Amino acid sequence: MLVYFFLKQLENHSNSNLLSISIISTAAVQTIPFTIYPIIGVLLGLAIITANDFKKQQRINTQIPKLILIICSGLGLALVLFILIFKEVFFNEYVKPGKGFDLDSSINGGQFIFESLISKRFYVAVFASIGWIILLVKLNRLTSKLIFLTAIVLTPFILVFIRGDNAPSLLYVVMIPLLSIIAAARSNKLVETIPIKSTLKHTILLVLIGTYCFAVFYRHTNNIKESTLSDIDELRRSQQIFSNYYNENYQPLKAIKAFKSIYTINPLPVLIYGCEPHGVSFYLEK
């Protein structure tokens, strides 16, 4: 949403866009403080657009200083809202920087994140890379908007490498829409080179992609169910980008209500084993 309103403001100046940017940047950091990393990428992307405009036209888009000011005000407001728990949020054991510039750790972490974000569909990366090369050859340059998106995607990886963070996977999840846009733009360039009439070509692609998406969705749904059943059998709580024990099948309120209905009929001592501290114990206390 933030990127959408940024690009919209650059083309269609409006105070409502600026208000949206301020609210969304505040809400993003309030929801997940690590979101500040890709937002720094937004600021870097704006700096690149500014430099590109100045190089081509010897002037700066007047909207960009406004956008930078608005997003900084949004970040500032988010920090103010954290004031009562500032130390707990920004100086806890999970966000302490490591030794920094740890290349091996960054490569291993980057590989895991990359595989997870594309759901191990490596051919997407292959097609997108070929399209990227075609785009470079045809245009002999990169569009500023594509550079803008790329800067947002790459910045978290760079910051994590510099700080040596043990950053959670959810830091990267917010970039999936941007990666999808970039991959689609590149892959579209590859599709344009296929020597078939446009209408027929797009009809074939629509059928293939539609069929493929349904198949992938079915496969992932089954995988999640199998993973959940396996976790129950083996007393395990998997936590990955695609399989989180606290998602769809983890409903503590529903479980507690079911327990309560049984307990009133046949009250017995309750043994809680390996419960999620932020879920079951909270509901039991209430």
Give tens-digit pLDDT for 153-174. 888 888 888 887 777 777 787 8
Which tokens go with 145?
């908007």
Residue 151 has pLDDT above 60, yes or no: yes
Q: Which residues, 6+ apart, have CB-to-CB distance to 60 below 8 Å?
A: 50, 53, 54
d(CA 193, CA 92): 52
More confident residue, 228 or 120: 228
Residue 207 has pLDDT above 90, yes or no: yes
Residue 286 has pLDDT above 80, yes or no: no
CA–chain centroid gap for 243, Å, is 16
The neighbouring-strand residues paired with 239 are: 244
29-44 pLDDT, tens digit per residue, is 998 888 898 999 989 8
d(CA 148, CA 49): 7
Residue 248 has pLDDT above 70, yes or no: no
